[in-house]
Structure 1
Amino acid sequence: MTTTATTSNKIKGKGKEQPLASLLAGATAGGVESFVTFPLESLKTQLQFSSRVVGTAKGPIQLARETIAQRGISGLYAGVTAVVIGNAVKAGVRFTSYDQFKSLLKNDEGKLSAPRSMLAGLGAGMMEAIIAVTPSETIKTKMIEDSKRATPRFKGMTHGVRTIIADEGWLGLYRGVGPVMLRQGANSAVRFSSYSTFKQLAQGSTMAGSQMPGWMTFMIGAMAGVVTVYTTMPFDVVKTRMQSLEAKAEYRNALHCAYRIFTEEGVLKFWKGTVPRLGRLIMSGGIIFTVYEKTYPVAASFL
Structure 2
Amino acid sequence: MSHDPQTPAIVSLAAGGVAGAVEAFATYPFEFAKTRVQLREQKGVATPKNPFKVVAQVYRTEGIKALYKGCSTLVIGSVGKDGIRFLSFDTIKNSFKDPETGTLSPVRNLAAGMCSGVVASLTAVTPTERIKTALIDDARNEKRFRSMTHCIKTIMAEDGIGGLYRGLAGTTLKQAGATAFRMGTYNILKDYERTRDIPQTTFTNFANGSVAGIVTTLATQPFDTIKTRCQSAKGASTVEAFRSIVADYGVTGFWRGTTMRLGRTVFSGGILFTTYEWAAALMMPLVVARKEKLRE
Asked if 1:29 corresponds to 2:19, the answer is: yes
Aligned position for 1:125: 117
Q: Deviations over 1:66-121 (max 9, x none)?
A: 21012211111001110000001100000000000001111232321110010000
Q: Pick from 116, 119, 134: which aligns with 1:142?
A: 134
**AA of the residue aligned to 1:31:** A
Alignment of 1:1-303 (within 5 A): 5=2, 9=4, 15-51=5-41, 56-59=46-49, 60-109=51-100, 110-149=102-141, 152-203=143-194, 206=197, 211-248=199-236, 253-303=237-287
- Give the TM-score normalised by structure 2: 0.91
Q: Residues 3-39 of structure 1, C-alpha deviation per residue, up to 9 Å, x if partnerless?
A: x736xx4xxxxx3331111000000000000000011
Q: Percent identity?
A: 36
1:152 counterpart SS class? coil
RMSD after superposition? 1.8
TM-score (norm 1): 0.89
Letter in 1 for 2:245: I
**How many residues get paired?**
285
Deviation track 1:119-154 (CA, whole Å, cap 9, x = no partner) reads: 0000110000000000100000000011112x5111
Q: Residues 203 and 106 from structure 1, CA distance in 2 versus in 1: closer, same or farther, beyond 3 angstroms? A: closer
Cα displacement (A) at 1:292? 0.6
Distance 1:71 1:260, change over 3 A: closer
Give the unaligned 5+ runs of structure 2: 288-296
- Does the 8 Å contact 2:47/2:54 carry over to 1? no
Q: Distance in 2 between matches of 1:243 and 1:154?
A: 15
Q: Distance in 2 between matches of 1:88 and 1:189?
A: 19
**1:155 shift after superposition:** 1.1
Shift of 1:262: 2.4
> Larger deviation: 102-111 or 275-284?
102-111
Partner of 2:292: none
Segments of 5+ residues of structure 1 without an aligned counterpart are 10-14
